[in-house]
Amino acid sequence: MTNSNRFKMSQERLDALKEELYYLETVREKEVSELIKEARSFGDLSENSEYDEAKTEQGKLYSKIAEIKKLIENAEIVDNMDQNAPKDTVTLGSVVTVLDLEDDFEERYEIVGSQEANPREGRISDDSPVGKGLRGHKAGEEVSIEAPGGIIRLKIVSVENN
């Protein structure tokens, strides 16, 4: 399987997905089955909105289970840092402070795998335009990144690798 079909994540994220899958396949699946059973008891299924809602919920549940299984099967566990990269270089796991040269505004990002990303918390994917644009660069360097909203010009203020 090619690397592009893999989902980068930490061991912690993989463990959380496994726990969620277990819950969905055991507890939640039984709950939805009970909803369907109860809705059937209301009579005529052709005009039974409770039955329709329960079947819709079942479909969503099975879809979520399939999605999580795919993530687990194609998980690529990544360490917090590329061991081969120089310590002062932006890599997976780096915490990077950048200065937006257009707005004169500093931001701090942690470069993470695609399954760890949460931009609201400052965790950006190494596959995102900004993540890709910063990787391999060092503090003091200026980078121009092509993003969906246009070119972003950033200066790397600091790079922290643990």
| Residue 16 structural domain | 3-77
User: What phi and psi values does residue 125 have, to the nearest 5 degrees?
Assistant: -70, 145
Residues 21 and 64 in one domain: yes
Q: Among 72-81, 96-105, 125-134, 146-155, which is the least confidently predicted range?
A: 72-81
Q: Is 3 helix (H, G, I), strand (E, B) or coil?
A: helix
Q: Tell me: the pLDDT tens digits for 100-124? A: 999 999 999 999 888 888 889 999 9
Residue among 132, 126, 140 at smallest CA distance from 97: 140
Q: How many domains does the chain have?
A: 2
119-137 residues labelled b (16+ CB within 10 A) or e (exposed): eeeebbbbebebbebbbeb
Q: What is residue 82's predicted lDDT score, i.e. its pLDDT?
A: 57
Q: For 7-154, where are the alpha helices, taking DSSP H only?
A: 11-23, 29-40, 49-73, 129-134
Structure tokens belonging to residue 69:
């299984």
First vs last C-alpha separation in the chain: 31
- Is 141 inside a domain boundary? yes
Whole-prediction pTM? 0.64
CA dihedral 148, 154, 156, 162 (to 10 degrees): -20
For the domain that residue 135 is a member of, what is the CATH number?
A: 3.10.50.30
CATH number of the domain within which 61 lies: 1.10.287.180
**Segment 40-80, tens digit of pLDDT:** 887 777 777 888 899 999 999 999 999 999 999 998 887 65
Tokens of 119: 């931009």
Q: Is the pLDDT of residue 83 over 70?
A: no
- Does residue 83 lie in a domain region? no
Predicted pLDDT of residue 66: 95
How far is the C-alpha of 47 from the C-alpha of 132, rounded, in Å? 53
pLDDT at 1: 42
Residue-wise pLDDT tens digits, 12-44? 888 999 999 999 999 999 999 999 998 888 777
Listed residues 77, 104, 133: the one ending a domain: 77
Task: Look at the block and give the residue holding tokens 């246009």.
Answer: 150
Clarify whether residues 19 and 63 are in a common domain: yes
> Three-state SS for 124?
strand
Strands 150-160 and 142-147, bridge-based pairing: antiparallel
